[in-house]
Amino acid sequence: YPTWKRTLTRRAREAQMKRFCKAQAIQRRLEEIEVTFRELEQQGIKLEKLLRDEEGTAANQKTQWMNQLLYLVQKKNSLMSEESDLMIAVQELKLEEQQWQLDQKLRCYMNKE
């Protein structure tokens, strides 16, 4: 078994492992984002109820609640942007994996000749 073939095989395995680890990290982050979305949603619901139900509340308190609500919306938008970036990264990993598989098939065909 020539040295260059072993080297190519090793590099391919290393690249595949690297993609796998990256995919796991992305999956963990997507799960964290989902949990944070739920938490933000609950906080937003509480703030909306406070804003609707508290008619006798001082104006500065309502302003503070509105600011908190706007902050939650901003944070949620930021997480949504990060989530879409991660989904693009997932697609890139899938394409890299397909490329690797096609390269493997090509090598097999070339070795048969």
According to the 3-state scheme, what is the secondary structure of 54-99?
CCCCCHHHHHHHHHHHHHHHHHHHHHHHHHHHHHHHHHHHHHHHHH
Average pLDDT, the chain: 91
Q: Model confidence over 60-91: pLDDT tens digits?
A: 888 999 999 999 999 999 999 999 999 999 99
**What crossing angle do the helices spanning 59-112 and 3-53 adopt, rounded to 10°?**
160
d(CA 34, CA 48): 21
pTM over 0.85: no
Instruction: Render pLDDT for 8-28 as a digit per residue (tens, 0 to 9).
Output: 888 888 999 999 999 999 999
